[in-house]
Structure 1
């Protein structure tokens, strides 16, 4: 209905000039607060819906969003998230929206820091940030706040930022749930192990920290009396990892339960398969390599968070906020999905 109203119709209903209405609708030039209130009141009354495609093409205005994403190989978690970003980009093509990705090494905080000067010198209207490194993300968001550039967080929510939206699971709660899943499989005094992949500079990823906090919190509430060991592995050195794992289990033959708080569970499960070792392992993220080990029993549970949905919605949130001028929900928690080999084959149906 709103699209049948012309600018001169709205001007007449508002009691202002057509030029004033034009400036308000196209967000150009100054108008008085009184005129703005009059026009806005009429727009709400007639449920005015502008033709945004026509407007953006007529003004020849383009929008550039930048996504800071960890470098990935095909089939990994971040590849799934980027599939969602690409779907949103394709959907918004008619609105002159472009999305550029800047990559960093998720095991090297310096590689993230090196992107900040690039952003200082780059023209863009919105940013998506994977919040891997807390201190670096805080430094970047302060820069974006100064530039009044809207940004969306994914991976882990950081409450000391002015993000317009966050998409992802509640990291603490997902770890808490993982604690319950694991605790149900052990005796109160059994020993367990946390597998952790090391990062350059010995910096833990924000999301993994929060997941581990939730996990340990659950065990603490249950007065867990066993020991929690930590095994440090390297993402790109399988031979070294084999030696590390062999050495650990030679010393701790009683341990047959553990968890890893990221998508690398398949690298640990591969070791157990090679050694024909029975082990109860909880991991994160439904990627192909993890799914294989879930189906053959070397991963017991996967906790999933729908990365493609996250990627799609983070770009849509910037679009709605910047172009449609709509209010978006700030906290958008994904479902915390628990997958086992009996239900994994149905997981992506109807999504």
Structure 2
């Protein structure tokens, strides 16, 4: 049974709506003003809210704004009931995140149709979200244990050999084992950092205040930052000569550490999925008042389906290619770009080139 909250200050209207909804077997809660309505919503977490606009103490816009600012109530479907039908009023409500707008007086059929339509859409949305969650869970189950065990095995195995055969090993053998331990440790550390970062970005995405704080960050100059991040990845893959840089400097609305991470993941992927001796290009430009970052490689292409399904812990064709990594790199980039109101575009031409294009807002001169 779906739960519906009715927030309406006029008793007669509120009572009629409650009676109508209860006849249709909905569980109904009600409130006579906006402040009580917000408290009821936080307490009962209804499946849908019907709310008047003009109310004492806290009007409908204030109720909706408060609901959307609270992570526990932010996604509850919300329908305005109002005698105000001006275009500007409707746009104000929709801008705050209202799902529908009914003008009073409305018929019982109109109200019930709006309620059932919105609940049906929410049901479809929740099913899709559950499917994505199930897919994420399967991906974690398959990829994360492997990604944790592989570097751990390298660390434990080489450490055990050093302890057992220390007296019989020469300096070169010990150096090789220590280098293997360091490589495995760096891989494990990178995995943990990315896992924690992705989890934090997901939490930020559900908190409007943190999103706003994130979007206030900016960096005045990016060419050296991008160059250093790209060169470090080239060095890790021993492919310094494959890296091609063509950078145009610009102030950008993103924190320096976030931009460096974005470049790190894109360039790491470009080297990971392309052969030594083939170029990896990193280019920046200012176009149409946007800062554009382009990372290209000549490696394996991505299909349109793979591009569409970019997500955490998802590796494409792992059994065939056995690539290293948890698949979080592009997901981190995607989420960072989304949180900064940017664009991420992936273009892949079979047997030719894959290019990842990131567009971010230019910051005012600092």
Q: What TM-score do the two structures reach when normalised by structure 2?
A: 0.21
What TM-score, normalized by structure 1, do the two folds share? Answer: 0.22
The answer to which structure has the higher helix fraction is 2
Greater Rg, structure 1 or structure 2? Answer: 2
Structure with larger RCO (C-alpha < 8 A, sep 6+): 1
